[in-house]
Amino acid sequence: MQITPAIHVLRHPFQVPVAPGIVLDRFVYSYLIVGETITLIDTGVAGCEERIFDYLGSINYDPSEISLVILTHSHPDHIGAARAIREATGCSVAAHPAERAWIEDVERQNRERPVPGFATLVGGSVPIDFELDGGVTIDIDGSGEYEIEMIHTPGHSAGSIALFLPGYGALFSGDVIPVPGDLPVYDDAVGSVRSIRLLRSVRGIRVLLSAWDEPRYGEAAYSQMDRALEYL
């Protein structure tokens, strides 16, 4: 789905095996920013690279045009296809330094934070080519049109980041903002509240693009953050 001339939304359904013969249906969003080059924000689980590549073909782009993958954090449904995408495209991979260890050594992540079906969700470790921290701004294709501001949003994980594309008013929030009624996941509940409040203070948000929720536009973006704060 295309929501602006530059921003494309991909919804990835997947299943988590929780017991023999029992699976949990889940989904996650990833996002494409299409300019002179293509930036992918989060990759979904292992196998999602096929859906991403097929979508690019449907809009007359080649997967080799992906130059950068930004990982909002290290959890399986965000990094699962990163290795396959990097191997297929030669793209660079970026993430917060606090997430590096679990992205570059997924077996370590599985030992330290075991989740059901980890091996089916993650296609392997992938090296981080450069680190992103709060306050950093990158011009993703050198044109000046797609400058992204990095916002460090710890709580869900220590190195979670959100990304703000001011030219489009687009805030990519990763897993920072829980959906009321769904299971909130965090390492630090107080940190999560602080990070949501930080995002709530960003002015000029025209669309909120979460990994867990459908796009929210205008005032609905801010209202969704208010509901998340009340829920936590």
pLDDT digits (tens, 9 = 90+) for 122-178: 999 999 999 999 889 999 877 778 899 999 999 999 999 999 999 999 999 999 999
CB 167 within 8 A of CB 147: yes
In a domain, 1, yes or no: no
Q: Residue 6: helix, strand or coil by DSSP?
A: coil
**Whether residue 210 has pLDDT greater than 80:** yes
Residue 34: which domain range?
7-231
* 60-68: average pLDDT: 97
In a domain, 2, yes or no: no
Q: How many domains are there within the chain?
A: 1
In a domain, 144, yes or no: yes
CB 194 within 8 A of CB 155: yes
Q: Which amino acid is at 176?
A: V
**Whether residue 119 has pLDDT greater than 80:** yes
CATH of the domain at 71: 3.60.15.10
CB 134 within 8 A of CB 111: no
The DSSP bridge pattern shows strands 161-165 and 38-41 to be unpaired
In a domain, 65, yes or no: yes
**Whether residue 120 has pLDDT greater than 90:** yes
In a domain, 29, yes or no: yes
